[in-house]
Amino acid sequence: MLTKAQVSRLRSLREKKHRTELGLFVIEGEKVVGELLGARYPLQELYATDAWVAPANLSLTPTRVSPEEMARLSHFPTPSPVLAVGRIDRVPLPPAGMTKGLTLALDGVQDAGNVGTLLRIADWFGFDRVLLSPDCADLFHQKVINASMGSFARVAAHTVELPSALAAVPSGMPILGCDLAGDDINGVAPLRDAVVVIGNEGHGLSPAVVARITRRVTIPRLGHAESLNAAVAAGIVCARVAARLAPRRI
């Protein structure tokens, strides 16, 4: 049986300030926990009811809890049979981290589901890294990790001051900013080295980031929708930019 202190600690991890204080994050759900375990992400704690079937090669012994205890721990209306805890490791961007390859940069993307989906998009199209400005949704928010569908454990993601990071991009490397007033993305040749920048859902790109953009691009509108979801737009642009890369069979 878990103590009140254990329950309180685990429940507190739904808030960023407590995640920061404790250096821990929590994630629940059979699929996403299975994805992290499959990717050998270094989880520190596992809590599971008897309904959870552990993978055969599990090296971390789960603490068994009752369905009632799991309901107290859970962040969801319908509790999952498994919950995991990992240690927060914010990896700095290496000094030469953007000298080549494809980078997806998020400028103030605040919806956690969008951030997770953008990680998944970067993973799908073989981007080398994802940059998040400090005002993006927290990388270790449970909704980010859930929406990434395991890409959280595979994509190199760094929280950085975006204008400074873009200033270090080598001369000649395109920095493409997604903007409704930009050039048709279909006129952009596929690239092996580039940065794609996605702006805030409501306000677009910040002025300091716009100053670093070398070309604004947009997706031609054929209908009457006012705009596209940030993650949808990123998927279309990333597909175009990465078109020259050799496809991986699935």
CATH number of the CATH domain containing 11? 3.30.1330.30
Q: Which domain holds residue 146?
A: 102-241
Is 43 within 8 Å of 85 (Cβ atoms)?
A: yes
- The CATH code of the domain that includes 204 is 3.40.1280.10
175 has a pLDDT exceeding 60:
yes
Do 9 and 45 reside in the same domain of the chain? yes
Domain count, the chain: 2
Least confident of 59-68, 157-166, 221-230, 234-243: 221-230
Do 159 and 45 reside in the same domain of the chain? no
Q: What pLDDT shows up at residue 40?
A: 87
Question: Which of the four pLDDT bands, split at 50, 70 and 90, describes residue 250?
Answer: very low
Q: Is the residue at 250 inside a domain?
A: no
C-alpha span between 246 and 40 (Å, rounded): 26
Q: Is the residue at 52 inside a domain?
A: yes
Do 17 and 46 reside in the same domain of the chain? yes
Q: What pLDDT shows up at residue 243?
A: 85
Do 69 and 30 reside in the same domain of the chain? yes
C-alpha span between 61 and 125 (Å, rounded): 35
Q: What pLDDT shows up at residue 204?
A: 92
Distance from the Cα of residue 205 to its chain's centroid: 18
Do 134 and 233 reside in the same domain of the chain? yes
Q: What pLDDT shows up at residue 50?
A: 95
**Better pLDDT: 250 or 215:** 215
- Of 56, 87, 118, which closes a domain? 87
Give the tokens for residue 78. 């319908």
Mean pLDDT in residue range 11-38: 93
Find residue 175's DSSP bridge partners.
Answer: 195
Do 234 and 115 reside in the same domain of the chain? yes
Is 60 within 8 Å of 100 (Cβ atoms)?
A: no
C-alpha span between 118 and 235 (Å, rounded): 8
99 has a pLDDT exceeding 90:
no
37 has a pLDDT exceeding 80:
yes
Mean pLDDT in residue range 81-102: 91
Do 108 and 22 reside in the same domain of the chain? no
CB within 8 Å of 41: residues ≥ 6 apart? 86, 152, 153
**Better pLDDT: 97 or 230:** 230
pTM: 0.91
Mean pLDDT in residue range 222-239: 92
Q: Is the residue at 247 inside a domain?
A: no
Do 117 and 212 reside in the same domain of the chain? yes
Do 79 and 125 reside in the same domain of the chain? no
Q: Is the residue at 16 inside a domain?
A: yes
Is 115 within 8 Å of 136 (Cβ atoms)?
A: yes
Do 113 and 53 reside in the same domain of the chain? no
Tens-place pLDDT, residues 129-169: 999 999 999 999 999 999 998 899 999 999 999 999 999 99
Q: Is the residue at 237 inside a domain?
A: yes
Is 158 within 8 Å of 132 (Cβ atoms)?
A: yes
Q: SS in 3 state form for the chain?
A: CCCHHHHHHHHHCCCHHHHHHHCEEEEECHHHHHHHHHCCCCEEEEEECCCCCCCCCCCCCCEECCHHHHHHHCCCCCCCCEEEEEECCCCCCCCCCCCCCEEEEECCCCCHHHHHHHHHHHHHCCCCEEEECCCCCCCCCHHHHHHHCCHHHCCCEEECCHHHHHHCCCCCCCEEEEEEEEEEHHHCCCCCCEEEEECECCCECCHHHHCCCCEEEECCCCCCCCCCCHHHHHHHHHHHHCCCCCCCCC
Q: Is the residue at 33 inside a domain?
A: yes
129 to each of 103, 181, 210, how far by Cα in Å? 5, 26, 20
Q: Is the residue at 208 inside a domain?
A: yes
C-alpha span between 40 and 90 (Å, rounded): 17
Q: What pLDDT shows up at residue 248?
A: 55
Give the tokens for residue 250. 């699935």
Question: Which of the four pLDDT bands, split at 50, 70 and 90, describes residue 95?
Answer: confident
